[in-house]
């Protein structure tokens, strides 16, 4: 009788003991949908008869991947904010939290062999292009294991088919046209995403790049990342026309909801197909929003209100929008997504720990990698008696 009672009590305790999150996810997984189709905002078109579709299918696998990447970018930027305030990161630092849907959607709409060049607000694209969080944070802290060996910092990070991170406002746009020229010359059906902000859109070199790309029929997607403020100046105060997707004049354009990852993905696919078909360049405007100020030296609330920022967070946050889509359509559970949040934060903390303890590059490294391929040669240091050996 005692043994039977003990067994019954044991079963009762087992039933009420909380199960690990992974167990709950596995039990519930049989109820998940494999995919769902969503209505997305129609793009505004210029000099185009047809545009991207107004519906988009999202598979459970893609949705989970997009969510993890967007959450990783968000937490990485928040960690960079913390490291900057702790003075582990010095110099310029431009954060992109709030704009995650742009970077994930752009990458999802092209091939890994395609090319991207952007401005100094580059951390999110660095990650979607394949750099690890550890190498990005280590570069921000100027450490030896950074993606640019600790010499580039926030604005100058590179990886395969990603050309930075450029510190001069708008200077990357003519370079992007040059990359597109190389794609056309090689006849490889690749395209170049040339990204710039609304603050750079009024520059003459942007119009010159449009003209040259159109003359030479280059496979270039010019992308205006319109986050509504160029530094501390609103677009309404800086531009006579805020319809940036029409700025190409003779180039076709489309205006996209940059807070919805599916809108950005479908628009990017459309633009890439347009370029690959030999029709020449096209212009995209991504309507997005940054939560931080222009840079870490800008509190971001002297030219806009805290209420404005909170309003965007509560209604249009890209991670929230994706999460709601997935949960409401049984592509994921709240518990599963919370589990991803925990894993991401842990990974970010570990990467930050590495980025603050990894050694800084030695003084001798300063003269290295001046050329991509060149015999070693001597380079003068701070004075004529100091010599460094430069190796490629």
Q: Where are the domains of the chain?
A: 35-384
pLDDT digits (tens, 9 = 90+) for 47-100: 999 999 999 999 999 999 999 999 999 999 999 999 999 999 999 999 999 999
Can you identify the CATH homologous superfamily of domain 35-384?
Thiamin diphosphate (ThDP)-binding fold, Pyr/PP domains (3.40.50.970)
Q: What is the pLDDT of residue 374?
A: 84
Quote the CA–CA distance of 330 and 34 in Å, as a whole number: 9
Asked if pLDDT for residue 14 goes beyond 50, the answer is: no
pLDDT at 45 over 70: yes
Phi, psi (deg, nearest 5) at residue 315: -110, -30
pLDDT at 70: 98
Check residue 392 and give its pLDDT: 83
pLDDT bucket at 385, cuts 50 / 70 / 90: confident
Spatial separation of the C-alpha atoms in residues 292 and 127, rounded to whole Å: 19
pLDDT attached to residue 383: 84
pLDDT at 29 over 70: no
On the CB side of 167, how many CA atoms lie within 13 Å of its CA? 9
| Closest by Cα among 317, 329, 277, 262 to 42 | 262
């Amino acid at each position: 009788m005692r043994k039977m009672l003990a067994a019954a009590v044991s079963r009762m305790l087992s039933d009420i003991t909380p199960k690990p999150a992974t167990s709950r996810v596995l039990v519930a997984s049989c109820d998940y949908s494999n995919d769902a189709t969503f209505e997305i905002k129609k793009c505004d078109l210029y000099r185009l008869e047809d545009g991207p579709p107004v519906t988009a299918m999202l598979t459970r696998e893609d949705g989970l991947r997009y969510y993890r990447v967007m959450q990783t970018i968000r937490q990485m930027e928040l960690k960079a904010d913390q490291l900057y305030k702790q003075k582990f990161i010095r110099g310029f630092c431009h954060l992109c939290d709030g704009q995650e849907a742009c970077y994930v959607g752009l990458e999802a709409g092209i091939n890994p062999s395609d090319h991207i060049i952007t401005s100094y607000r580059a951390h999110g694209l660095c990650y979607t292009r394949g750099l690890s969080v550890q190498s990005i944070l280590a570069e921000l802290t100027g450490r030896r294991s950074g993606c640019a060996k600790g010499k580039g910092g926030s604005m100058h990070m590179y990886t395969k088919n990603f050309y930075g991170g450029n510190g001069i406002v708008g200077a990357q746009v003519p370079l992007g046209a040059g990359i597109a020229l190389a794609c056309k010359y090689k006849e490889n059906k690749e395209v170049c995403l040339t990204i710039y902000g609304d603050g750079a859109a009024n520059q003459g070199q942007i119009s010159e790049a449009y003209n040259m790309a159109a003359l030479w029929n280059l496979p270039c997607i010019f992308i205006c990342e319109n986050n509504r403020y160029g530094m501390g100046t609103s677009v309404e105060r800086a531009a006579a026309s805020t319809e940036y997707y029409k700025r190409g004049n003779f180039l076709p354009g489309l205006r996209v909801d940059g807070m919805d990852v599916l809108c950005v993905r479908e628009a990017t696919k459309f633009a890439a197909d347009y370029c690959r078909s030999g029709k020449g360049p096209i212009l995209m405007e991504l309507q997005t929003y940054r939560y931080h100020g222009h840079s870490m030296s800008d509190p971001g609330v002297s030219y806009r209100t805290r209420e404005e920022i909170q309003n965007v967070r509560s209604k249009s946050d890209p991670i929230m929008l994706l999460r709601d889509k997935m949960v409401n359509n049984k592509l994921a559970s709240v518990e599963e997504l919370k589990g991803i949040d925990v894993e991401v934060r842990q990974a970010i903390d570990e990467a930050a720990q590495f980025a603050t303890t990894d050694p800084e590059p030695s003084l001798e490294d300063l003269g290295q990698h001046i050329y991509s391929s060149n015999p070693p040669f001597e380079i003068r240091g701070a004075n004529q008696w100091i010599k460094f050996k430069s190796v490629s």
